[in-house]
């Protein structure tokens, strides 16, 4: 009697877990479809940061973002993030295989100095729908969601969402909020130098500050500006319909 009841209970739990997984997948797919044409009000990372601030007693923290369409973002900003983070963005299908292999080789040699290889598509999927941090579970989910985003969204849409939810400082999300916070102007008026400075802090916007750039950030800013010119400037964006 007891073994049979235990087996039924286990099957019931498994059915519940399967139902929860399928529901979560359906929710993610639904959000991907909805956000293919509607503005994104907030991201999972924004929610995570806000909850963390509340739980730590920081009542002054507010995770904030102002959504703007791509037409209201300076072209140099889009070019800057591609130059800094993902120069093959218009060409790949969500994953830069060569960069992933290079990162794996680097990490195998320098185990304590890990290097990432996330594309803008992967970063968008993670920031929008998943939690921050490193784990094989999150990377697996990120891969699946990246595939869904690449399948349903255009490259221009991925770039638009990325630029609107990217974290650029404490409580500062999206390039519109960043432009107004740091340069007192809308994102449409950002110069190439300002765009490159914003992109320069993306590896870690908590360690690297737009408002007080270190020598490393200034060097990275200049490198990004050179990459932007080598990529072809605004002509690169027109060539790829971005």
Among residues 74, 115, 79, the alpha carbon closest in space to that of 226 is found at 79
Residue 144 covered by a domain = yes
Range(s) of the domain holding residue 52: 44-239
Q: Please count the structural domains in the chain.
A: 1
Q: What is the CATH number of the domain that holds 107?
A: 1.10.3810.10
Residue 113 covered by a domain = yes
Give residue 23's pLDDT band: very low, low, confident or very high (50, 70, 90).
confident
Residue 185 covered by a domain = yes
- Span 49-106, pLDDT tens digits: 999 999 999 988 999 899 999 999 999 999 999 999 999 999 999 988 876 666 555 4
Q: Supply 66's token pair.
A: 């102002």
Among residues 34, 30, 64, 28, the alpha carbon closest in space to that of 157 is found at 34
- Span 199-220, pLDDT tens digits: 999 989 999 999 999 999 999 9
What strand order describes the sheet that includes 172-173?
Answer: 64-65, 172-173, 167-169
- Sign of CA pseudo-dihedral 158, 164, 167, 169: positive
Residue 130 covered by a domain = yes
Mean pLDDT along residues 155-162: 98
Task: Assign residue 215 a region (left: φ > 0; alpha: ψ between -120 and 50; beta: otherwise).
Answer: alpha
Residue 183 covered by a domain = yes
Residue 188 covered by a domain = yes
Residue 192 covered by a domain = yes
Helix (H, G, I), strand (E, B) or coil at 88: coil
| Residue pair 172/181 in contact by the 8 Å Cβ criterion | yes
At residue 203, the pLDDT reads 83
Residue 53 covered by a domain = yes
- Span 172-193, pLDDT tens digits: 999 999 999 999 999 999 999 9
């Amino acid at each position: 009697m007891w073994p049979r009841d235990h087996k039924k209970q286990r099957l019931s739990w498994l059915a519940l877990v399967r139902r929860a997984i399928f529901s979560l997948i359906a929710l993610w797919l639904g959000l991907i479809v909805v956000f293919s044409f509607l503005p994104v009000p907030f991201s999972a990372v924004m929610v995570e940061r806000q909850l963390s601030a509340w739980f730590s007693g920081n009542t002054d923290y507010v995770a904030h973002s102002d959504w703007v369409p791509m037409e209201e973002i300076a072209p140099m900003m889009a070019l800057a993030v591609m130059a800094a983070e993902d120069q093959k963005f218009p060409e790949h299908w969500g994953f830069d295989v060569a960069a992933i292999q290079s990162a794996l080789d680097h990490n195998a040699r320098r185990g304590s100095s890990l290097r990432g290889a996330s594309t803008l598509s992967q970063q968008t999927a993670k920031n929008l729908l998943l939690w921050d941090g490193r784990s094989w579970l999150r990377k697996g989910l990120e891969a699946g969601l990246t595939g869904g985003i690449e399948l349903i969204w255009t490259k221009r849409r991925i770039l638009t969402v990325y630029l609107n939810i990217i974290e650029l400082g404490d409580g500062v999300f999206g390039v519109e909020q960043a432009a107004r916070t740091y340069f007192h102007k809308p994102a449409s008026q950002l110069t190439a130098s300002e765009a490159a400075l914003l992109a320069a802090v993306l590896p870690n916007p908590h360690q690297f500050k737009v408002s007080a750039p270190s020598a490393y950030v200034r060097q990275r800013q200049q490198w990004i500006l050179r990459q932007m010119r080598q990529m072809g400037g605004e002509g690169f964006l027109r060539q790829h319909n971005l």
